[in-house]
Amino acid sequence: MPLIDTNEITKIYQLGDISVKALCAVSFSIENGEFIAIMGPSGSGKSTFMNILGCLDKPTSGRYLLEGTDVGSLGRDELAAIRNKKIGFVFQGFNLLSRTSALENVELPMLYNGVTAKERRQMAMSALKSVGLEGREHHYPNQLSGGQQQRVAVARALVNNAPIILADEPTGNLDTKTSAEIMGLFTKLNAESNITIILITHEPDIAEYSKRIIKFRDGCIVTDEANKKIRVKDND
């Protein structure tokens, strides 16, 4: 059974009298442990697709099975529970809570699944350690560099042991060197912890870290092929 299986997913936005087709019958599947880059120009539907994969949005038609569960039939709170347990998000703008320490930011997903305060602390500490932020647990986001903030976000995505990380242009706000560090982190997580990583990017450099590249145009998948020359490390 594939981890993610979509069957003819369409998404139509209704803007007044005009209906905009953001996705047209997208069907594909992702196995456990894949590392996928989704590419495409702005407005190609990749973000819409990502939102649907992330259970933040529902398709207008079509079927989306996540670990065999039909996500389309679930309610708001059930989708929230799936996001909590199965999916970790990493955003371009980091999306950390300001005035909240790194540690507490990482603890955030566990506030919503009944983990005790003590366990929360332990798990958040070890997640921060695994992204190399040991000793910065009590720093606030504005005291951390962009790369460090993104690591906190990655730790937050990891902390619930979610099998999938969805990264929406995770390196969009970072310089080349820091981008390489973050991509290295993803590669490591994919290889060592067998976490499925799906990332959206504009940059071919970044896409090269993945094992499979899917290209979108006008709401449709145009190419879906394995990456022949995977970049393991930054060629410095």
Partner 1 sequence: MINIPSTLKISLRALRVNKMRSALTMLGIVIGVGAVIAMLAVGEGASQKIADQIASIGSNLLIILPGSTSSGGVRMGSGTQTTLTMGDTDAILRECPAVADVAPEHGGVAQIVYGNQNWSTGIRGTTPNMLNVREWQLSSGRPFTGQEVKSGAKVCLLGQIVVDNLFGDIDPTGQVVRIKKVPFIVIGVLAPKGQSLTGQDQDDTIFVPITAAQKQLFGTQFPGMVRLIHVKAKSAEDLDAAEKQITELLRQRHRIGSKQENDFTVRNLTQLMQTQEESSKVMALLLGAIASVSLIVGGIGIMNIMLVSVTERTREIGIRMAVGARTWDIRLQFIIEALTLSLIGGVIGIIIGVGGSKILSAFAEWPTIISPFYVVLAFCFSGLVGIFFGFYPAYKASLLDPIDALRFE
- Residue 109 as a binder of partner 1 (CB under 8 A): the answer is yes
- Residue 25 as a binder of partner 1 (CB under 8 A): the answer is no
- Residue 13 as a binder of partner 1 (CB under 8 A): the answer is no
- Residue 84 as a binder of partner 1 (CB under 8 A): the answer is yes
Nearest CA to 235 among 167, 200, 198, 184? Answer: 184
- Residue 80 as a binder of partner 1 (CB under 8 A): the answer is yes
- Residue 74 as a binder of partner 1 (CB under 8 A): the answer is no
- Residue 46 as a binder of partner 1 (CB under 8 A): the answer is no
Stretch that binds partner 1, among 6-14, 33-41, 105-113, 143-151 (CB under 8 A): 105-113
Please list every residue from 113 through 172 that binds partner 1, using CB under 8 A: 113-114, 117, 156, 160
Q: Which residue from 25, 108, 121, 172 is in contact with partner 1, where contact means CB under 8 A?
A: 108
Please list every residue from 50 through 69 that binds partner 1, using CB under 8 A: 51, 54, 56-57
Give contact residues for partner 1 (rule: CB under 8 A).
Answer: 51, 54, 56-57, 76-77, 80-81, 83-85, 89, 91, 95-97, 99-100, 108-109, 111-114, 117, 156, 160
